[in-house]
Amino acid sequence: MKTDFPADITARSLASPEGLERKQRQLFDLIIGHYRNVLAGENPSQLFINLDGKAGTGKSHVIMLISATLDEMAQSAGINKSPVVRAAPTGVAAYGISGCTLHSMFHLLPVGRGNAVDLNTENLHALQANFRGVRYLIIDEKSMIGLKQLHWINDRCQQIFPATSPDDVLPFGGLNVVLAGDFYQLPPVAQRALFDTRPLQNLEEIHGRSLYRSFATTIELDVVRRQEGTDQRAEAFREALEHLREDEITHQGWRLLCFRVQSVVPQEIPMFNDAIHIYARKHRSRNSITTVCETLDNL
């Protein structure tokens, strides 16, 4: 089904570089300038970029603008294949940047079932065809990526882009990689986080740590765009969210958040019956599905 009906993962953006804030523009200029040198026939150094930023600072926004601009540059140069791919650990995160899951893109096994899938010749050739012409790999939600997984991604990239000699072996097969996300968000499942500094024994984790330490360029987006406003209430709300992010909620912030909950008018709640519901417990989710099915049966 995926082969017959492929998802549209074309990068689209209505933004312009002039509308970016200073650090977003710094990232944009760095990557676009790098690709401009590539198209000019130069061989610039590999990029390993850490893109940090709390929620609402425009990470996805600048990723999509960069991707769309790279596509336009490639097309202007007569290149029909996009030079950039985007991926994330989960489907929801991947959808937000018009990308694929890491497991789908690199043929990795499900979480907790070991490392990457052994590829036969046919599957390897298919992967190499998918990556032909790709020069940039952007990975979002890096907080959910573990040291082992980074090692597996590197191994797969080196399979896709095999070196011609031992001296030509490059990290990630020579791809330029951007790791984007916020380490205050969800950690990896059953793996050590990229920033973990505890002693390691596992060789895959040791290699993953070495790879992560090669990301020497860090750009931190620090201008929150999602919760804008300069009035006292807006500033208090941003401050409460910041404290909540750092697990240091204040009594004043707690009261503000409680006020937001209590302000919901009971008569308006049914208006959201057809909205997406998020549940913290599986049984709540199952009960909701059962209710929907019973309603459909009654119709």
Tell me what the pLDDT averaged over the chain comes to. Answer: 89
Residue 169 belongs to a domain: yes
Distance CA 190, CA 59 (A): 26
Q: What is the pLDDT of residues 87-141, one digit of tens each?
A: 999 999 999 999 999 999 999 887 666 666 678 899 999 999 999 999 999 999 9
CB 94 within 8 A of CB 101: yes
pLDDT of residue 256: 84
Residue 214 belongs to a domain: yes
- What separation in angstroms does the CA of 142 have from each of 16, 35, 97, 175, 242? 26, 23, 14, 17, 20
Residue 1 belongs to a domain: no
Same domain, 98 and 237: no
CB-count exposure of residue 297 (10 Å: 0-12, 13-18, 19+):
exposed
Please tell me what DSSP assigns to residue 72: H
Signed CA dihedral, 106, 107, 113, 119: sign only: negative
Q: What is the pLDDT of residues 18-53, one digit of tens each?
A: 999 999 999 999 999 999 999 999 999 999 999 999
Residue 7 belongs to a domain: no
Same domain, 237 and 201: no
Q: Which distant-in-sequence residues (6+ apart) come within 8 Å of 224 by Cβ? A: 54, 56, 57, 238
Same domain, 143 and 240: no
Averaged over 179-199, what is the pLDDT?
A: 94
CB 133 within 8 A of CB 71: no
The domain boundary residue, chosen from 158, 187, 221: 221
Residue 4 belongs to a domain: no
Same domain, 69 and 214: yes
| CATH number of residue 121's parent domain | 3.40.50
The domain boundary residue, chosen from 193, 221, 249: 221
Same domain, 156 and 262: no
Residue 2 belongs to a domain: no
Q: What is the pLDDT of residues 215-250, one digit of tens each?
A: 999 999 998 876 666 678 778 888 888 888 888 888
Same domain, 206 and 102: yes
Distance CA 126, CA 135 (A): 17
Same domain, 108 and 188: yes
Same domain, 197 and 260: no
pLDDT-based confidence at residue 269 (cuts at 50, 70, 90): confident
pLDDT of residue 295: 59
Same domain, 96 and 131: yes
pTM comes to: 0.83
Q: Which domain holds residue 32?
A: 17-221
Same domain, 215 and 255: no
The domain boundary residue, chosen from 166, 193, 221: 221
Residue ranges with strand state E in 92-249: 100-101, 136-139, 176-181, 217-221
pLDDT-based confidence at residue 172 (cuts at 50, 70, 90): very high
User: How many folded domains does the chain comprise?
Assistant: 2
Averaged over 71-86, what is the pLDDT?
A: 96
CA angle 7, 8, 14 (to 5 degrees): 150
pLDDT of residue 87: 97
- What separation in angstroms does the CA of 176 have from each of 15, 67, 239? 23, 13, 36
